C-alpha cells in the first residue's frame, strides 16, 4: 500500500496470532507442548530484547502455512516457556490427533540450550 506509517496498527501480515501458555511442564526436562500437529524446527535464536531463546517451528504440511514459535528463558526454561502460534492450519490434525494421548513429537528444548558443552551418552 502507500506505505502508511501505520505506527499504531502493527499487523505483521500474520493472521490468527494465538498466544498460549502451558500451565506447567514436567520436571527438569523441557518438552514441547503437543498440539496434535506435527512441527519442524527451522531455526533458533536468542532474542536480546527479551533475553529469551526463541525457537521457530513450521507445520510439516506444505498445505499448512501455520507456524509456531517457542520462547523460554535459558536460566529458567521450565518455569518461563511461552508458545506463540502464527497462521492457521489448513488441514486437520494428523491421525491420532489426540493431544491427550499423542506423545508424538517431543522436542527436547533442554537440548537446545546454549550451555550444552557436550552431549552426554546415557
Partner DNA sequence: AATCTTTGACCCTCA
Partner DNA sequence: GTGAGGGTCAAAGAT
Nearer to DNA, 48 or 63 (CB): 48
Are the CB atoms for 39 and 57 separated by under 8 Å? yes
16 binds DNA (CB under 7 A): no
Q: How far is CA 84 from the centre of its chain?
A: 6
Which of residues 56 and 64 has its CB atom nearest to DNA in the complex?
Answer: 56
Return d(Cα 83, Cα 68) in angstroms, integer.
Answer: 7
| 69 exposure class (CB count in 10 Å sphere: 0-12, 13-18, 19+) | middle
Report the DSSP beta bridge partners of residue 70.
55, 83
Enumerate residues 24-53 that contact DNA by CB under 7 A.
Answer: 40-45, 47-50
Residues 60-119 that bind DNA (CB under 7 A): 60, 67, 69, 105, 107-108, 111-112, 116, 119
Stretch of 18-26, 56-64, 74-82, 89-97 contacting DNA, by CB under 7 A? 56-64
What distance in Å separates the CA atoms of residue 35 and residue 106, rounded to the nearest whole number?
11
Binding site for DNA (CB under 7 A): 40-45, 47-50, 54, 56, 58, 60, 67, 69, 105, 107-108, 111-112, 116, 119
Amino acid at each position: 500500500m502507500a506505505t502508511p506509517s501505520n505506527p499504531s496498527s502493527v499487523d505483521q501480515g500474520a493472521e490468527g496470532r494465538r498466544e498460549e501458555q502451558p500451565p506447567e511442564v514436567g520436571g527438569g526436562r523441557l518438552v514441547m507442548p503437543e498440539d496434535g500437529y506435527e512441527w519442524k524446527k527451522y531455526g533458533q535464536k536468542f532474542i536480546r530484547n527479551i533475553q529469551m531463546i526463541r525457537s521457530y517451528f513450521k507445520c510439516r504440511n506444505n498445505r499448512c502455512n501455520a507456524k509456531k514459535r517457542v520462547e523460554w528463558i535459558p536460566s529458567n526454561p521450565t518455569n518461563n516457556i511461552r508458545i506463540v502460534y502464527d497462521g492457521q492450519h489448513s488441514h486437520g490434525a494428523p491421525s491420532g490427533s489426540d493431544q491427550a494421548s499423542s506423545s508424538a513429537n517431543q522436542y527436547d528444548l533442554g537440548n537446545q540450550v546454549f550451555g550444552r558443552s557436550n552431549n552426554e551418552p546415557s
